[in-house]
């Protein structure tokens, strides 16, 4: 069965102290389902790893270089991430693609390296508003997924987050039907690229202006396995509210 996950991408927010305070706030409310994954800043990874030891909270890094070491000033390697105890790494986020110029070839190298060392990539894909308005959503998803997962066999452990670029940080989210349609298409692509059933077995999250007002509607869609949350993951009470809504939707609590 697919994992149901709520992931919080803190981006360039929260000091080490802020990160630990947040965990103190949520840790007594975290059970095994849905799985909670936090993506703190690099500077907080090690301390977060120690803080969540013995809890059901998982964590990961927001990015990484595809080389394990080398003369890459300002970068972080998979081995550095693993040493903190992290199990996940966020790759291909639209901010990495559109602000920092990461292309699919580079993202694919990162995905391959992550899998080789035992990290679980959470791969972000999605179209811009111009691409959606031109009817190119499926073309973009096909291009990104086929290129980003190139050279994989299909038995690897990875998660996909559908994040329409036009919905990230804008307050405008995809409608449940728009999100579900994209998730269905991604599943069909995975079946086509790898083998029948791969799509059905892959956890696919929705990301893009998830908030308390829309999380229940979105998570009610059977194709949506949870959310990758940005701004709404920064506040403890809001995050716990999102978590509870997801629990009620997916586990009939």
For the stretch 110-143, pLDDT in tens is 999 999 999 999 999 999 999 999 999 999 999 9
**Are the C-beta atoms of 144 and 106 separated by less than 8 Å?**
no
Instruction: Tell me, yes or no, if 93 is annotated catalytic.
Output: yes
Query: 88: helix, coil or strand?
Result: strand
CA angle 15, 18, 22 (to 5 degrees): 140
Does the pLDDT of residue 171 top 90, yes or no?
no
Q: Which residues pair with 122 in a beta bridge?
A: 90, 159
Whole-number pLDDT of residue 253: 44
Mean of all residue pLDDT scores within the chain:
96
Whole-number pLDDT of residue 170: 81
Q: What is the dihedral of CA 150, 156, 162, 165, to 10 degrees?
A: -50
What CATH number does the domain containing 167 carry?
Answer: 3.20.20.70
Nearest to 165 by CA among 143, 137, 190, 188: 137
pLDDT tens profile 136-166: 999 999 999 999 999 999 999 999 999 999 9
**What is the number of structural domains in the chain?**
1
Q: Which of 93, 127, 221, 223 is catalytic?
A: 93
Tally DSSP H helices, then E strands, for the chain: 11, 8
The residues, ordered by sequence, that sit 6+ positions from 153 with a Cβ below 8 Å of its Cβ are 194
| Residue ranges making up the domain that contains 223 | 5-251
Whole-number pLDDT of residue 167: 87
Q: Are strands 120-125 and 88-91 parallel, antiparallel or unpaired?
A: parallel
pLDDT-based confidence at 252, cuts 50/70/90? low
How far is Cα 184 from Cα 186, in angstroms, rounded to an integer?
Answer: 5
Q: Where are the beta strands (DSSP E) in the chain?
A: 5-9, 35-39, 57-61, 88-91, 120-125, 159-162, 204-207, 226-229
Q: Distance of CA 167 to CAs 6, 94, 152, 173, 206, Å?
A: 18, 11, 29, 5, 11
Instruction: Tell me, yes or no, if 163 is annotated catalytic.
Output: yes
Give the count of beta carbons closer than 10 Å to the beta carbon of residue 213: 10
Q: Distance of CA 230 to CAs 12, 171, 187, 239, Å?
A: 11, 11, 24, 10
Full-model pTM: 0.96
Does the pLDDT of residue 15 top 50, yes or no?
yes
Phi, psi (5° rounding) for residue 226? 130, -160
pLDDT tens profile 74-95: 999 999 999 999 999 999 999 9
Q: Which of 95, 102, 127, 163 is catalytic?
A: 163
């Amino acid at each position: 069965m697919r994992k149901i996950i709520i992931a919080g991408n803190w981006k360039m927010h929260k000091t080490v102290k802020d990160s630990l305070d947040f965990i103190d706030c949520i840790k007594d409310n975290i059970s095994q389902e849905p799985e909670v994954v936090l993506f703190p800043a690099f500077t907080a990874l090690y301390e977060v790893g120690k803080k969540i030891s013995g809890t059901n909270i998982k964590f990961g890094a927001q990015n990484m270089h595809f080389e394990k070491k080398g003369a890459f000033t300002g970068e972080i390697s998979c081995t550095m991430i693993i040493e903190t105890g992290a199990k996940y790494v966020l790759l291909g986020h639209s901010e990495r693609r559109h602000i920092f110029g990461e292309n699919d070839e580079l993202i694919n190298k990162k995905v391959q390296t992550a899998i080789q060392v035992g990290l679980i990539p959470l791969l972000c894909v999605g179209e811009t508003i111009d691409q959606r308005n031109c009817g190119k959503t499926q073309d973009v998803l096909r291009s990104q997924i086929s290129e980003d997962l190139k050279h994989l066999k299909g038995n690897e452990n990875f998660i996909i987050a559908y994040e329409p670029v036009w919905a990230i940080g804008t307050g405008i989210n995809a409608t449940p039907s728009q999100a579900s349609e994209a998730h269905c298409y991604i599943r069909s692509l995975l079946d086509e690229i790898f083998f029948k059933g791969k799509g059905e077995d892959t956890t696919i999250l929705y990301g893009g202006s998830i908030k308390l007002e829309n999380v229940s509607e979105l998570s009610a869609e059977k194709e949506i396995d949870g959310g990758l949350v940005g701004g709404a993951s920064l506040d403890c009470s809001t995050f716990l509210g999102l978590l509870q809504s997801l629990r009620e939707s997916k586990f009939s609590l």
